Amino acid sequence: SMVADQLGLIHCMDALMLITTTEYVSPVSDENVTVTATEFSNVAVRLYTPRKEAGGLRRSMIFFHGGGWCLGDAGMKSYDHMMRWTAHRLNAVVVSVNYRLAPKYRFPTQFEDVYSVTKFFLQPSVLAQYGVDPDRVCVAGDSAGGNLAAAVAQQLLEDSEVKTKLKVQVLIYPALQTLDLDSPSYRENKNDGILSKMLMVRFWNEYITGDTALGEAMASNRHIPAELSHLFQFVNWSSLLPEEMKKDHIYTSPTYGSSELARKYPSFLDVRVAPLLATDAQLRQLPPTYILTCEQDVLRDEGVMYARRLEAAGVPVTHDHGKDAFHGALMFISSPTELAIGHRLLNRLTEWLDENL
């Protein structure tokens, strides 16, 4: 059945790729926002600059799109709409990054692309060139982009070359850990039509290596060797989830896998891949954080656990939970049926950014 699943997922990937392509819109300016396709640090970006008078230095958002590190494009209609909306509503310079994708490129390429764009943009001379206030810059992303945003925010803390500090970080239903794919949210949503457990496993697998041995081990949750058991404290949902999210789920201790996979592909345990693995000392220095989680989402619990860990480390956190929302809800702002949910979430996020950025 694994083979059939794999074939099914290949078709699924093709279908998703097609959606990405048909959703594409070219970078066209409108009456509110000037849109330019350019490169920062040799990485393609879309730049959204408000047309209205700046009235001083502007705030800025650097955005990383979702799509499991394999799909997606800054030029997709929904992302383009979201960026125009944000630039106009917040009078902000928005940089939307087109990082390179798997399976052609694997970790750390995606991370390095978004990191080098962020580092480039945060240089005082570049911020000045775009009229951006160095005290009002944030990183943001959804899904795999939320993973990249969390990783970038953590990595910047270690980088002595970057003097500009992020004002906030925005993580929209982010993927944050590779250790436990059997949390309540994985159990409850494993056959979800938008992001099933198998598709998420496939995304992780493509991001890290083309070797399906890793995917198969992850699918059965037997990919962490016993000698790394201490890492589970960072993702233990039985201690990190609030009671109402545990429902009747029973936490079972991990079934340990072979040491070989972890030796062969150490990146699946790299903190840049799994930001939930950061120590409390690292988390303590992070900027105020906005996290959106959705009830119908395999990734729900890791967003909640990150919010809890950040709060415990003393970081100001706003955690919004969409009880009626699903993974990818913000992508559906251009289709009328899901309009209400997507718009409500986007409005809420814009309000939060308006107050905090």
3-state secondary structure 80-147: HHHHHHHHHHHCEEEEEEECCCCCCCCCCHHHHHHHHHHHHHCCHHHHHHCCEEEEEEEEEEECHHHH
The reply to whether 327 belongs to the active site is yes
CA–CA separation, 229 and 256 (whole Å) = 8
Q: What is the pLDDT of residue 134?
A: 98
- Interstrand relation of 168-172 and 289-296 (parallel, antiparallel or unpaired): parallel
Cβ–Cβ under 8 Å, residues 35 and 96: no
pTM: 0.95
Residue 244, exposed/middle/buried by CB under 10 A (0-12, 13-18, 19+)?
A: exposed
The reply to whether 239 belongs to the active site is no
CA–CA separation, 318 and 348 (whole Å) = 11
Q: What is the pLDDT of residue 81?
A: 93
Cβ–Cβ under 8 Å, residues 325 and 333: no
- What number of other Cβ atoms are within 10 A of residue 286's Cβ? 23
> Is the alpha carbon torsion for 181, 182, 183, 185 positive or negative?
positive
Regions of the chain where pLDDT drops below 50: none
The reply to whether 143 belongs to the active site is yes
Could you tell me the residue ranges of all domains in the chain? 1-177+276-356, 184-263
Instruction: List the catalytic residue out of 143, 183, 196, 267.
Output: 143
> What is 1-177+276-356's CATH superfamily?
Alpha/Beta hydrolase fold, catalytic domain (3.40.50.1820)
Cβ–Cβ under 8 Å, residues 64 and 138: no
Q: Phi first, then psi: give them for residue 39, nearest 5 degrees.
A: -130, 140
Q: What is the pLDDT of residue 280?
A: 96
Q: What is the pLDDT of residue 21?
A: 76
Write the Ramachandran bin of 33: left for phi over 0, alpha for psi from -120 to 50, otherwise beta. beta
Instruction: List the catalytic residue out of 65, 88, 223, 327.
Output: 327
- What number of other Cβ atoms are within 10 A of residue 108's Cβ? 15
Q: What is the pLDDT of residue 12?
A: 65
